[in-house]
Structure 1
Amino acid sequence: MKLSSRLQKCFAIALAMLAGVVLYFFLIHWWVVAPWQRIDEEEHALRASYQRFSALVAQREELQARLDLQRQRPLSSRGLLTAREPEVAMSQLMQLVSERLSLEPATGVACSVLNRVPQIGASDGPLIPVALSVDLECGIESLTGTLHRLESEPPYLLIDTLSIRRLVSQDTVQSSSGRLSVKMQVRGYLSVSSVVDHE
């Protein structure tokens, strides 16, 4: 079927336009327009970051003054370990961890301690960090209660690291009675002044 000259012109124009669009995207857009668009987006992101950092720098003196004021206030003994020596504080930390384990959860498996490794760090300003690495076996309910009690009751303890994996039975691929293997590092603080006063 032979096309009329008018249709041939229309097809030729359509093909020329299609070729122009393809050439634009492959030769002009990706090599010229797209890089400029990326540069423009990066410029906007840098400008926004600069504005945020400028706002933080403007608040530096105020924040420094508040920090200095906070450092001058006496430490509250309620949130600190009450021992007079780092070694005694470590024993207190071990006792606190044992007391705050959720041994009788409403449902599930209770926590049991497998291993404890004490760590006494160097003084951090007016505080001496005392840490304890603990290996536990827990059910999910008892673990939840234990984590809450560790950090919410005075003296306050911090959980620095936490690793949880499901225990798998040797015979089957299924979990072993819903037990979890938990490794965590718990940290408490002892006031340097109390150690100095004791000495």
Structure 2
Amino acid sequence: MYKTRRAQRFYAIALVILMGTFLYWVLLHWWFIAPLQQMAEEVEVLQVSYQRFSTLEAQRGFIQAELESVTRRPLPSEGLLTADEPEVATAQLMQLVSERLSLEPATGIACTVLSRSPQTATPNGQLLQIKVNVDMECGIESLAGTLHRLESEQPYLVVDTLSIQRAPNSTGAQDQQGHLVVKMQVSGLLSAMQAAGHE
């Protein structure tokens, strides 16, 4: 009899604990505790972000002074076009494109320029961006070599736009070699100060 009452008391206490835990999670935790914990985490994230931005704000003067110093610093001439005027720079750019064609690929078709048309130079800070549109016929290997040479040799050139299509009149063996029609815009940089000094 004593053991039975003791077991009943144990079960009653266990049931009360389970009910209390259930009510805590259902009524308190999800409605009150969890939102407070989420708010505390968000506050901590905001504090970290605020400290980071405060550090950057404290360095604003130093960063701005460095930026102005770099802006006033003369540009290295190795990567720029060497002409004195935009028109001459355009001619130089066309010549560079022709010189950097992959004319002797290991396999496939060499690149051939079909047409070149100069575009209007665009000011860009201390620089003038000299542009030319180029239409070519290439094989796959020669095109890859040409693109690499265009952007890796000095003065540095940039392929701004590139359109590649299979040549519509290619047949047979040429198809197997990958006869491609390529349209691209290539640009180089010219010092605006240098160009202004020769006007």
CA distance, structure 2, for counterparts of residue 73 and residue 95 of structure 1: 29
Query: What does the per-residue CA deviation read over 1:169-197, in whole Å, with 9 as the maximum and x for residues that have no partner?
Result: 4778x936411121111001111222222
Is contact 2:170-2:179 (8 Å) kept? no
Question: Match of 2:101?
Answer: 101
111-120 vs 53-62, greater mean Cα deviation: 53-62
Structure 1 residue aligned with 2:166: 166
Q: Which residue of 2 aligns with 1:83?
A: 83
SS at match of 1:161: strand
Q: Are the aligned partners of 1:168 and 1:176 in contact in 2 as well (CA < 8 Å)?
A: no
Q: Would the alpha carbon gap of residues 81 and 169 (structure 1) be closer, same or farther in structure 2, given more than 3 Å must change?
A: same
Partner of 2:141: 141
**2:121 is the counterpart of 1:118:** no
Contact 1:168 1:175 in 2 (8 A): no
Q: CA deviation at 1:60?
A: 5.7
SS in 2 for 1:145: helix
Please state whether the residue corresponding to 1:103 is helix, strand or coil. Answer: coil
1:184 aligns with 2:188: no
Bigger mean CA offset, 84-93 vs 68-77:
68-77
Q: CA–CA distance in 2 between the matches of 1:56 and 1:177?
A: 58
Q: What is the alpha-carbon distance in structure 2 between the residues aligned to residue 94 and residue 56 of structure 1?
A: 48
RMSD: 3.4
CA distance in 2, matches of 1:56, 1:95: 50
Question: Which position in structure 2 is the counterpart of 1:34?
Answer: none
The worse-fitting range, judged by mean Cα deviation, of 177-186 and 145-154 is 177-186
Tell me the equivalent position of 1:175: 175
Whole-Å Cα distance in 2 between the matches of residues 177 and 78 of structure 1?
37
The alignment partner of 1:121 has SS state of strand
- The CA distance in 1 between the partners of 2:125 and 2:60, in whole Å, is 21
Secondary structure, in 3 states, of the residue corresponding to 1:175? Answer: helix
CA contact (8 A) 1:113 1:137 kept: yes
Output one character per residue of 1:107-132: Cα deviation in whole Å (capped at 9) or x when no partner.
11100111211012232221111101
Q: Would the alpha carbon gap of residues 185 and 57 (structure 1) be closer, same or farther in structure 2, given more than 3 Å must change?
A: farther
The whole-number CA distance in structure 2 between the counterparts of 1:164 and 1:51 is: 46
Instruction: Tell me, yes or no, if the aligned pair for 1:126 and 1:192 is still in contact at 8 Å.
Output: yes
TM-score w.r.t. the length of structure 1 is 0.66
Equivalent AA in structure 2 for residue 149 of structure 1 = R
TM-score (norm 2): 0.66
Contact 1:139–1:178 (Cα < 8 Å) also in 2: yes
Residue 167 of structure 1: how far off its partner (Å): 2.6
User: Identity across aligned pairs (percent)?
Assistant: 56
Conservation of the 8 A alpha-carbon contact between 1:169 and 1:175: no
- Alignment match, 1:9: none
Structure 1 or 2, whichever has the larger Rg, is 2
